[in-house]
């Protein structure tokens, strides 16, 4: 019996954990829990990034779909194409802003600026522009796409046209503007018992900088993750009783916010315009000058769309011309803040029509490039050798701070390009044609291209003068590039998409 008891006790002692075994077990358990925790963390982060990618992808797709449909309805002979180039230094997040950390995009060879830190170095240390601050271009044109009002009249419509909009009708001529918006917060009105739009002085603009200088090279007060690319539309109500070639302040205020008038009689995305006078003043038959496009005040718009010069200063053709386009682009006609739209964050139901201008939140890059019409390599008939890089189309970026205007691509305007600016046979070299590469077909032998522009013939009697070459006042195509982050910071890199449209 003693032997059995002894065996039983020994067996019991052998089944117990030793201290070493317990420590090993705890270590294994700790490692297992750590692995499980890492797996769950990675899974959660991956799921979060996947959801963020899907959300941003959906918004970018909606933006590109709108752009594609708007551009599809453009008739170059009855529209203008305006591209205002701009950049704005910015931090990606509020934390980066507090650390004064720049968000920049690589555009060239980083080896050429080995001592440049894109996140903390000031702009002047990168004179070649290897890194670019975020692009904030503005694109404006007219489209014939049938469009329904997004902010219909809420009261008794002022005109039959407004009645048509109130009933859901569609109009076929609309001015469309794409650009970054000012940001505002809805304000609760105790007197009205509803939310109202913020005052203009309470808006946040991307051009507000931390040093108050309005310098595009200074950091914006608004982190780029909060930037919002807007699409603003102005459904044109034709008027013929008076020459009206610009928008009023009331119209601009409604358009930028996509808000119906306070009395409910006017749609928030509609404006009056004398379309005939507007486009006529952009051609050689302009009533604003007896000499038409041959005069200084409107000539540069067609002869030098990329370098307007007035009184020796590169700018718009004249103050009048400058003023006119300010009055169809910016709120109050003031280009200082580049205010094309107002976005109300966390939009309440009382201000739901503001959703009509909201397009892409977290858009840190909006750039519009074009194929220069004077460059023969961009012609659809140009036989380029794909083995020669110089023979491929060259996309032209708009210089930041410059505004490029392409007037209607009509027969009259094309003819105006061919004609001399100065007196007959003056061979004035200040032509738009002489500013770029040679045209598709070489001119005949002779002392000057311009001398033969009208009546020269080539081998076999084929006419090769400028008048027989493909001339355009519009580019062959535009390329629009957007970069967008998730506003909640769930993406390490922006989503990049490009749209190419051929006119």
- Please report whether residue 465 resides in a domain: no
* pLDDT recorded at residue 294: 42
Instruction: Please state, in angstroms and rounded to a whole number, the distance separating the CA atoms of residues 190 and 424.
Output: 71
Instruction: Give pLDDT, residue 429.
Output: 38
pTM, full prediction: 0.82
* Domain total in the chain: 1
Residue 445 within a domain: no
Question: Taking Cα atoms as reference points, which of 178, 407, 139, 160 lies closest to residue 270?
Answer: 160
DSSP 401-468: T-EEEE----HHHHHHHHS-SSSTT---S--SGGGSS--SSPPPSSS-TGGGTTT-B-GGG-B-SGGG
Element housing 345 (H / E)? strand 342-345
In a domain, 462, yes or no: no
pLDDT of residue 450: 37
369 assigned to some structural domain: yes
Q: Is residue 26 part of a domain?
A: no
pLDDT at residue 215 is higher than 50: yes
Residue 13 lies inside a defined structural domain of this protein: no
449 pLDDT exceeds 80?
no
Evaluate whether residue 430 is within a structural domain: no
pLDDT in tens, 52-75: 788 999 999 999 999 999 999 999
| Band (411; pLDDT cuts 50, 70, 90) | confident
In terms of residue numbers, what domain contains 128?
76-142+173-275+316-376+478-502
Interval 223-246: pLDDT, tens: 999 999 999 999 999 886 667 889
Residue 173 vs residues 170, 347, 351, 359, 453: alpha-carbon distances, Å? 10, 28, 26, 21, 37
Assigned domain for 447 exists: no
The CA distance from 348 to 185, in Å, is: 10
The rounded distance, in Å, linking the Cα atoms of 62 and 64 is: 6
φ, ψ of residue 218 to 5 degrees: the values are: -95, 150
């Amino acid at each position: 019996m003693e032997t059995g008891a002894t065996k039983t006790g020994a067996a019991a002692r052998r089944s117990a954990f030793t201290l070493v075994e317990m420590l090993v077990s705890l270590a294994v358990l700790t490692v297992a829990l750590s692995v499980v925790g890492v797996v769950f963390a990675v899974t959660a982060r991956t799921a979060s990034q996947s959801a963020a990618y899907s959300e941003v992808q959906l918004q970018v797709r909606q933006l590109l779909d709108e752009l594609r449909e708007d551009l599809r309805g453009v008739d170059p002979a009855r529209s203008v194409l305006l591209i205002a180039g701009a950049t704005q230094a910015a931090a990606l997040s509020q934390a980066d802003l507090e650390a004064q950390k720049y968000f920049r995009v690589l555009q060239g060879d980083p080896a050429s600026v080995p001592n440049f830190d894109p996140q903390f170095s000031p702009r002047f240390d990168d004179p070649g522009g290897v890194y670019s601050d975020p692009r904030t271009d503005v694109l404006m044109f007219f489209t014939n796409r049938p469009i329904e009002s997004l902010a219909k009249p809420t009261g008794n419509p002022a005109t039959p046209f407004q009645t048509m909009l109130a009933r859901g009708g569609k109009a076929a001529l609309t001015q469309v503007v794409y650009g970054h918006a000012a940001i505002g917060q809805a304000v609760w009105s105790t007197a009205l018992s509803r939310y109202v739009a913020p005052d203009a002085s309470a808006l946040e603009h991307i051009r507000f900088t931390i040093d108050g200088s309005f310098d595009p090279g200074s950091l914006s007060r608004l982190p780029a993750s909060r930037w919002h690319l807007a699409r603003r539309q102005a459904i044109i109500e034709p008027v013929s009783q008076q020459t009206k070639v610009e928008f009023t302040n009331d119209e601009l205020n409604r358009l930028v916010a996509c808000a119906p008038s306070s009395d409910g009689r006017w749609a928030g995305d509609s404006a009056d315009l004398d379309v005939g006078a507007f486009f006529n003043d952009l051609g050689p038959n302009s009533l604003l000058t007896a000499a038409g496009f041959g005069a200084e005040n409107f000539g540069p718009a067609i002869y030098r769309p990329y370098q307007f010069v007035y009184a020796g200063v590169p700018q718009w053709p004249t103050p009048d011309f400058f003023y006119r386009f300010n009055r169809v682009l910016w709120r109050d006609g003031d280009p200082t803040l580049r205010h094309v739209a107002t976005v109300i964050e966390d939009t309440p139901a009382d201000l739901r029509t503001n959703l009509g201008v909201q397009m892409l939140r977290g858009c840190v890059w909006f750039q519009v490039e074009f194929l220069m019409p004077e460059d023969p390599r961009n012609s659809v008939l140009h036989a380029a050798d794909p083995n020669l890089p110089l023979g491929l189309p060259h996309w032209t970026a708009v210089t930041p701070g410059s505004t490029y205007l392409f007037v209607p691509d009509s027969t009259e305007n094309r003819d105006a390009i061919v004609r001399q600016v100065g007196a007959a046979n003056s061979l004035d070299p200040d032509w738009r044609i002489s500013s770029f590469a040679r045209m598709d077909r070489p001119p005949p032998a002779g002392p000057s291209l311009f001398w033969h522009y009208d009546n020269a013939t080539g081998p076999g009697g084929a006419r090769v003068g400028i008048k027989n070459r493909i001339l355009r006042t519009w580019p062959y195509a535009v390329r629009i590039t957007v970069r967008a982050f998730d506003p909640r910071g769930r993406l390490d890199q922006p989503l990049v998409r490009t749209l190419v449209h051929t006119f």
